[in-house]
Amino acid sequence: MSPVGRLIVIVLFEGVDLLDVTGPPEVFSLARRETEEAAGYEVVLAAETTDPVTTSAGVRILPDLTFDDLAGRSVDTLVVPGAVETDGQGRVHPLTDPAVVRRVEQLAGRTRRVTSVCVGAHILAAAGLLDGKRATTHWSTAQRLAADHPLVEVDADPIFIREGNVWTGAGISACLDLSLALVADDLGEAVALRVARQLVMYLKRPSGQSQFSVPLEQISTTRRIEDLRHYILRNIGEPLTVADLAGHGHIGERQLTRIFKSELGTTPHAYIESVRVERARNQLESTDATLERIATTCGFGTTDTLVRAFRRRLDTTPTEYRLRFRTRPE
């Protein structure tokens, strides 16, 4: 479907995150360059007034028009970026200006597709647009979103989530992933791939891909659990069992399970699988290794086990993942 006359409105307000605002227009601009089908995309920045808006980075942006200027116009895609402030203890708090929330609620009523970038999800939630829906946001404010809006099913893990005509994106740079997904939805994966190549990035991370790389995730843990995590990394190609880990840690199996649950929020088996999937992802992205070889070196044993783990954790297959994320030239 050609996006003829599709108006894309990006909401501006004081303190907004700069990349949230500038990332999506770049993607849509490249889409226009890559195909005539995207010629109908019209991207505008809207604010309460046409006075310059100061972003969180200190860079000032000039709105194209005011919210009132949009009266009577149908909006194809509404993009709601986010903003945060930090307190004296370094804690992050999302900003939800009631005036901005009201404007978003009004615009959403005549918009085909509503999207949020990063903590912009808090604005959508405050406008009642996420009630009864699954949504994501930046990991640092996910618990706050769930606490403030119990009718929203918050999932902090995915890069982006689509629920009907409402799309929510995760961390700040995920605005590019989300925008590529919107282009793919409008014009197909081939066009989105060409845009991604221009951006020197992957076509898109699957909507179910985690915001985190498991071995790099920063978790406050005890020295004992850290030692076990490093042991898993060093021996990931081996048939690790709970008994193996318990023996290495000189503790009982039940105690080991309790430690993983309390400190990592998961079971030893699930954690081992997550590390194996992470190692397999890296090999799929950067090597020519066969699936059989990857299954062996990552400790899955068989390709069937490897495939099942990818489907369970990433909602894709190893082959599909490699096609999307391969970083070496063909």
pLDDT of residue 244: 92
Instruction: Give, for 174, the enclosing helix (H) or strand (E).
Output: helix 174-187
CA dist., res. 160 & res. 167, Å (int): 7
CA dist., res. 288 & res. 80, Å (int): 40
pLDDT of residue 52: 97
Cβ(302)–Cβ(276) below 8 Å: no
CA dist., res. 316 & res. 208, Å (int): 9
pLDDT of residue 170: 87
**Closest Cα partner for 9 from 45, 41, 39?**
45
75, 118, 156, 184: which is the annotated catalytic residue?
118
pLDDT of residue 100: 97
Could you read off the pLDDT of 138-195 as tens digits, one per residue? 988 998 999 999 999 998 878 888 999 999 998 777 888 899 889 988 988 778 878 8
pLDDT of residue 212: 45
**Could you tell me how far CA 153 lies from the centroid of its own chain?**
15
β partners of residue 53: 61
Cβ(295)–Cβ(302) below 8 Å: yes
The residues of the chain scoring below 50 in pLDDT are 1-2, 203-204, 206-209, 211-221, 328-330
pLDDT of residue 282: 84
Q: Is 118 a catalytic residue?
A: yes
What do you get for the CA distance between the two ends of the chain, in Å?
31
Which amino acid is located at 317 in the chain? T
* Neighbour-count burial for 72-96, b at 16+ CB within 10 Å, e otherwise: eeebbbbbbbbbbeeeeeeeeebbb
**Closest Cα partner for 130 from 98, 163, 157, 107?**
163
Block residue for tokens 């706050």: 144
pLDDT of residue 222: 62
pLDDT of residue 160: 86
- The encoded tokens of residue 219 equal 């978790």
CA dist., res. 114 & res. 7, Å (int): 12
CA dist., res. 27 & res. 297, Å (int): 38
β partners of residue 169: 160
CA dist., res. 243 & res. 260, Å (int): 14
Rounded to 10°, the helix 223-234/253-264 angle is 100
